Amino acid sequence: MTINWISLTALLPLVGAALLATLPKGAELRAKQFAFGTTLVTAASAIAMAVQFQRDNTDLQFVEVRSWIPSFGINYAVGIDGIALVLILMSVILAPIVILAGWNEAQGGRWSVKTFYILILVLETMMIGVFSATDVFLFYVIFEAMLVPVYFLIGGYGTGERSAAAVKFLLYSLFGGLLMLASIIALYVMSGAQGGHTFDLAKLANLQMSSTTQNFLFLGFFIAFAIKAPLWPFHTWLPDAAQSATPGTSVLLLGVLDKVGTFGMIRYCLTLFPEASKTFTPVIIVLAVISIIYGAILAIGQKDLKRLIAFTSISHFGFITMGIFAMTSQSQSGATLYMFNHGFSTAALFIVGGWMIARRGSSTISDFGGLQRVTPVMAWCFFLAGMSSLALPGLSSFVSEFLVLVGTYTRYPAAAIIATVGIILAALYILIPVQRALHGPTTPGNENLTDLNLREKVAIAPVLAAIIALGFYPSPLLNVINPAAVHVNSQLGFTDPVPTVEGK
């Protein structure tokens, strides 16, 4: 019997969680170390898988299919392409970083530290599963089930209005999920009429359906993903959730979970409903552009550091969605690379921001000031994270933002031009808090803040290193993403528009 790398990688955190549950009650340090070790092993396993990945092969790789509920034609079916691989890598690399960076963040929770790490590990299993599922039912099950650990992470370990934020998050997501369920049921019923009940993604993609049906089913999926991503006007849960969650949870929430929304748009909306995707593209591009500008403008106005980061993410998700639906190979690759980079730059912002907040005991931006003098290392880290968020050339986000804009311009020049305004606004929403928090006179109460300790430096170093390295040399990732992105577009019947030159 051969071992499937995806299943193995996904199983590791779950086994870790089960073992963690058997630890005695008081052993907090052991629980942390064990959880950290588990995530490291998981990351190693995922990297081993990535090494074996054949990047020029556009078929799904590491495929495993096992019958799960035969009476409904449901399988445990997993497999990854370049896009999924990149997102899984991002998830498993962020997990140990989150645990190391937020070493003490479970302390203020309603429940034990052990429970916190059990929830994180269970969530990690589901993150790997959700990106690799190729059975629509399996995807839906994980998509919904992963709400539960996040809900308890926000509501149990967050700060402030944590339970209200957790409930808001859960209800928004559940509502979207149920719309998707209705669409899935319709797909299932149609597959039954056309050659046997199945949830296999490839088979469902070949279903014959009228364009009206396709439009409705597309909307069921799209709204679920737009809530998850989140896209304006479905975004209102995100700032509350991000404000209340612990920094580590926020990293996983914005960095990984929200990517399920944009990933779902590529994997499910475009693949299952190519015609409807084309029909709705103008509307979605408009929504994406609104998200970019709206998120940026609201970010400028935020007084709370965590809410600010949440609104910057709404703007960034606008870019990703625009890149996906512009349907050129550049914008498509750019969007996937953007997802990866956004994961890291948001992680850096939330992690360093979380340390600042923990030290100062406040998340209001105006409470900081002069950190550059008091805590230079932390200030530099925050500065670098901010620069990555505004896509400074030389940092990784620049490459992806540029690709998205260039790719979009060839098909929707107006949208690309308006979106470019978002870059200018990005400079504002990052530079204003950077100026207020890091520079200027030291705000009273900040004189005795301590700088980063060794653990924190070790935690943030790989994130910043990745941001800089991929800014200069993004090809390792792009080589994996490009074939998959081209494959998605060619399935849709799109080829890149040929640039025309004036006067020829």
Q: Of the candidates 11, 27, 40, 181, which one interacts with other proteins according to CB under 8 A?
A: 181
Under the binding rule (CB under 8 A), the answer on residue 141 touching other proteins is yes
Under the binding rule (CB under 8 A), the answer on residue 149 touching other proteins is no
Q: How far apart (Å, rounded) are the C-alpha atoms in residues 461 and 421?
A: 31
> Segment contacting other proteins (CB under 8 A): 7-15, 170-178, 292-300, 336-344?
170-178
Q: Which of 457, 94, 382 is nearest to 252 (CA)?
A: 94
Q: Of the candidates 19, 23, 65, 148, which one interacts with other proteins according to CB under 8 A?
A: 148
Footprint on residues 289-348 left by other proteins (CB under 8 A): none
Task: Decide if 375 contacts 452 (C-beta within 8 A).
Answer: yes
Footprint on residues 111-130 left by other proteins (CB under 8 A): 111
> Segment contacting other proteins (CB under 8 A): 14-22, 57-65, 186-194, 427-435?
186-194
Under the binding rule (CB under 8 A), the answer on residue 26 touching other proteins is no
Q: How far apart (Å, rounded) are the C-alpha atoms in residues 240 and 233?
A: 15
Is 365 exposed, middle or buried, given 0-12, 13-18 or 19+ CB atoms closer than 10 A?
buried
Q: Which of 298, 297, 313, 296 is nearest to 241 (CA)?
A: 313
Task: Decide if 105 contacts 98 (C-beta within 8 A).
Answer: no
Three-class DSSP category at 22: coil
Distance in Å, CB of 30 to other proteins, minimum: 20
Under the binding rule (CB under 8 A), the answer on residue 175 touching other proteins is yes
- For other proteins, the closer of residues 189 and 461 by Cβ is 189
CB atoms within 10 A of CB 262: 25
Q: How far apart (Å, rounded) are the C-alpha atoms in residues 413 and 418?
A: 9
Under the binding rule (CB under 8 A), the answer on residue 195 touching other proteins is no
Distance in Å, CB of 133 to other proteins, minimum: 12
Q: Which residues contact 210 (CB under 8 A, 6 or more apart)?
A: none
Q: Of the candidates 18, 47, 178, 414, which one interacts with other proteins according to CB under 8 A?
A: 178
Footprint on residues 218-257 left by other proteins (CB under 8 A): none
Q: Using CA of residue 187, residue 253, residue 295, residue 342, what is the dihedral sign? A: negative
Distance in Å, CB of 452 to other proteins, minimum: 33
Q: Of the candidates 5, 152, 319, 338, which one interacts with other proteins according to CB under 8 A?
A: 152
DSSP-assigned states of every residue in 384-409 = HHHHHHTT-TTSHHHHHHHHHHHHHH
Q: Which of 401, 385, 391 is nearest to 333 (CA)?
A: 401
Q: Of the candidates 162, 235, 307, 342, which one interacts with other proteins according to CB under 8 A?
A: 162
- For other proteins, the closer of residues 162 and 342 by Cβ is 162
- For other proteins, the closer of residues 126 and 467 by Cβ is 126
Q: How far apart (Å, rounded) are the C-alpha atoms in residues 416 and 482?
A: 21
Under the binding rule (CB under 8 A), the answer on residue 103 touching other proteins is no
Q: Of the candidates 60, 145, 427, 469, which one interacts with other proteins according to CB under 8 A?
A: 145
Q: Of the candidates 21, 48, 189, 465, which one interacts with other proteins according to CB under 8 A?
A: 189
Give the phi and the psi of residue 246 in degrees, each rounded to 5: -70, 155
- For other proteins, the closer of residues 114 and 267 by Cβ is 114
Q: Which amino acid is at 389?
A: S
Task: Decide if 398 contacts 337 (C-beta within 8 A).
Answer: no
Q: How far apart (Å, rounded) are the C-alpha atoms in residues 351 and 223?
A: 30
Under the binding rule (CB under 8 A), the answer on residue 69 touching other proteins is yes
Size of the site for other proteins (CB under 8 A): 35
Distance in Å, CB of 250 to other proteins, minimum: 18
Three-class DSSP category at 85: helix
Under the binding rule (CB under 8 A), the answer on residue 192 touching other proteins is yes
Residue in the block written with tokens 């990984």 = 256
Q: Of the candidates 7, 163, 215, 410, which one interacts with other proteins according to CB under 8 A?
A: 163
In the complex, the residues that contact other proteins under the rule CB under 8 A are 67-72, 110-111, 140-142, 144-145, 147-148, 152, 155-156, 162-163, 166-167, 170-171, 174-175, 178-179, 181-182, 185-186, 188-189, 192
